Every structure is written in C-alpha cells, then in structure tokens.
Amino acid sequence: MRLPISDSDQFMPITHAPTIYLYRPTSSFSVASAIETLKNSLRQALVHFYPLAGRLHWTGDGGRLELECNSMGAQLYEAETDAKIDDFGDFRPTPELRALIPSVDYTSPIHELPLLLVQLTKLSWGGISLGVAISHIIVDGTSALHFIGEWARIARGETLDIEPFLDRTVLLAENPRRPPRFDHAEFSDAPLLIGESDDKEERKKETSVAMLHLSKEHVEKIKKMANDGGGGSDNIRGYSKYEAVAGHVWKCASKARKHEREQLTQLRTAVNIRNRMRPPLPQGYFGNAIVIAVATSPAGELVSRPLSYAAGRVREAIEMITDEYARSALDFVASQSNVGRFRSFHTAGAGCNQGFFYGNPNLAVTSWIGLPTHGTDFGWGKEIHMGPGTLGFDGKCFILSGRDEGGSVLVALKLQTHMEAFKKFFYQDI
C-alpha cells in the first residue's frame, strides 16, 4: 500500500537524523536481555508507528516521494567497543560518537533504505549506548521523540501514552495553483560571502564541533541582555530562552567570522506548526510539521547593536509562521515541478554536498528546548546523555535543555576555524 506524504515532508533532506543515548546501567544489566527487550518492544511499537517499517519510493517526475507501507521493517544492531563513556568527554558530536549510530548507504536505491536503524553498543566499564538513525523525510524532531518515548514505554511494559496520528493528508497543499501569498525566503539560496559567486569553497573548509554549556545563571544573563535596552522589535513580552540564546549565537558567530559590516547573514530555524495551524493538527501528528523561519541582517547591525536586536530579528522571523504562511508554503512546494531541488541529499556524516548550504556567513539553529529529550528509560534506567549524533555542516547548531532541569542549556555547534574565537565571545560577552 502506497501512501502520499505531506508537502511538509517533501522538502526535507534525504538523510537519517542521528541521535545518541548513553547509559550507565546497574551491575545486574545484561546486554543479551536488553537486545531481546529492544527487539520485542520494537516489534510492538512498529504496529502503531507502521510508517517506520515501510520504504520510500520515487513517484512520477520532479523528485517527489511517497511511502510504501510494506512492512519491510527496521534494522536493529548489536555492537561492542573498547571505548568508555568517559572517552566521549562532553559528548560533542564527533566522528567517534557518530560511530555508535548506524550509518546508511545512500548510494543504494531509495526504496532499499530502511527508515529506522538502531544500534545497541556495549561500551567498556559497564556503559552502553543506543544510537538511533531515523528518516528525516518521515519525521521531524517532535515525531521522532514521540516514537522513541512510546517505544521506551512499551519496553518497560507500559501502554502507549499518545497514539500516533498517521494521516498526512492534513498537510497536503490546498491549492497548488494559487500564487504564493508570501515571499518564501526559506526556498531561496542563502546569502554568500561578499565577493564570492558560489559556496563551493566554503563547503570544502575544515570544521570542528563543540558542545557548549550555559548554566541557568548564564541563560538568565543572556535573557536579561536581550530584554534590556532598545534595538529590537516591539518587545511587549520578554524574549524566550531560545530567542535570546539563538540571537547570542548569531551575534557571536558574526564576530568570530569577522564579517564585513555590509555582509548579509541569515539564521534559519525550524518552526513547529502543529499548534499554529487553524485548527491545530491532531494530537500525536506523526510526520514533519515544520516550516523554516528565516531571519536576515547585515552583520554590522548584529555586532554593533544590543542583543535585543538579534533576538528581535529571530522573533520576527518565527512570528511570521502563521496558519496562512504555512499553507502558502505547502502550496508553494506542491506547485514546484522539481521539488527535489530544495533538498539536501546528504547532510549526515559526510557533510552537506548537495542542496542548500547554511554555512558561513549563515547559521541553521534548531531548537530542542521543550522537547522530551531526557528520561528515556527502556528498563535499565534513564540516560546520562541524549544529543545529536552529528552536525552536518558549518553553521549547524542545536540548542537543547541541560540535564539539571534547572534552566541550563547545551549548544552543539559546528564551525570552521572560527571556533576558538566564537567560544571566547560566547562566554566573554555574557
């Protein structure tokens, strides 16, 4: 049985989003027992989340995809390594951490690629990891964590908390022949460095990754900086944690990259539209329900003006994503004769080699704040760390809540040789 996927799914990258869970189970823990628990509970979970057991297929021309619910299944691996949990330090998404997550051979035909791959790895000195790679065409972060959370509940012998809503036709375009009602910058190329005619050289440059910790006190100071002084939009309510921290990251990146004052720079972020649609999407909607918000500014404005300016630009971009805007974006995608040109075909692991590139002078900042990233217990206790398994390209950033539940934040970031300068500004400017 083949099913249409939504127009919000259609422009997602053909890649598998990798996440990692690390555990220190008790001495009575058994890998053999754990793998059986995972197998049995995964079988049960896929009965409810059956799209993950299917395969994608090309349909017609223009690079469109559809989902075949053929019960081909997910892949579950068992592995062992000499590495210890402590070897991964602050859990920045390095190649060594990525090795704990199954990889996908994208040279194979798309209809052969599993949509869900999982790897349980026994680490030295008693640690274990659970690496998950899940198709970004099929789910966004909200849906991925919904599935993983329900799978863990089943593994613990509990019933589902929220059944997935699987009808993706609710996010199909209403009128693809209607002219776009907005200027959809999210489907346009990002700014280039002044003097450059393309981004080929920027894609080739070496990068490094960092996992930066902001304490609750740091976060409160950043929010105070954003909410003090003029320069932003009409700030009747205080800037959110995400708006303030994303603005701070954006400002520090432009300083570290030493952009010219006139250099245009963009910050792109995925906005969850589940509660922005009218009516809201059904609870448990399973799929991609995001629209990309685009904030743009000359670098000189970011660097010279108070943080309220950068946070205000982020807020203005996010608040553009209304029901009307989202439906216009769906219409726009459906109207394209070649929707495939909007995708990045290989953003995981080897970098962003096709499609859009959001690196220097730009950033792609994804918020995991508020998502259920902590407390995933399959029966051997809660994880000591959960985070992204890789950062696909220069400028890619995740902002996620810290484990202390007291308001701290982790910032996972990939940058070119500007990383050390960025770190200096990141903490010095607070």
Q: Which of 136, 248, 259, 418 is catalytic?
A: 136
Report the C-alpha gap between 39 and 151 in whole angstroms: 11
136 labelled catalytic: yes
β-pairing verdict for 75-84 and 64-68: unpaired
Cross-strand bridge partners of residue 213:
410
377 labelled catalytic: yes
β-pairing verdict for 264-272 and 208-214: unpaired
Element spanning 396, H or E: strand 396-401
How many of the other CB atoms lie within 10 Å of CB of 300?
14
Q: Which of 57, 87, 377, 429 is catalytic?
A: 377
Per-residue H/E/C for 4-58: ECCHHHHCCCCCEEEEEEEECCCCCCCHHHHHHHHHHHHHHHHHHCHHHHCEEEE
Report the C-alpha gap between 334 and 177 in whole angstroms: 9
β-pairing verdict for 128-135 and 116-124: antiparallel
Report the C-alpha gap between 223 and 231 in whole angstroms: 15
β-pairing verdict for 409-415 and 396-401: antiparallel
Enumerate the H helices of 156-286 as residue ranges. Answer: 200-204, 216-227, 241-256
Element spanning 367, H or E: strand 363-367
β-pairing verdict for 385-388 and 208-214: unpaired
**Which phi and psi angles does 20 have, rounded to 5°?**
-130, 135
**370-376: long-range pairs with CB below 8 Å, 24+:** 370/401, 371/141, 371/142, 371/145, 371/400, 372/145, 372/149, 373/145, 373/400, 373/401, 374/401, 374/403, 374/405, 376/21, 376/148, 376/149, 376/152
DSSP 71-136: ----EEEEEEEEEEGGGGTT----HHHHTTS----TTS-GGGS-SEEEEEEEEETT-EEEEEEEET
How far, in Å, are 36, 274, 323 from residue 291 at the CA level?
A: 38, 10, 11
Report the C-alpha gap between 254 and 278 in whole angstroms: 37
Token readout for 380 is: 């051997």
Which residues are catalytically annotated?
136, 377
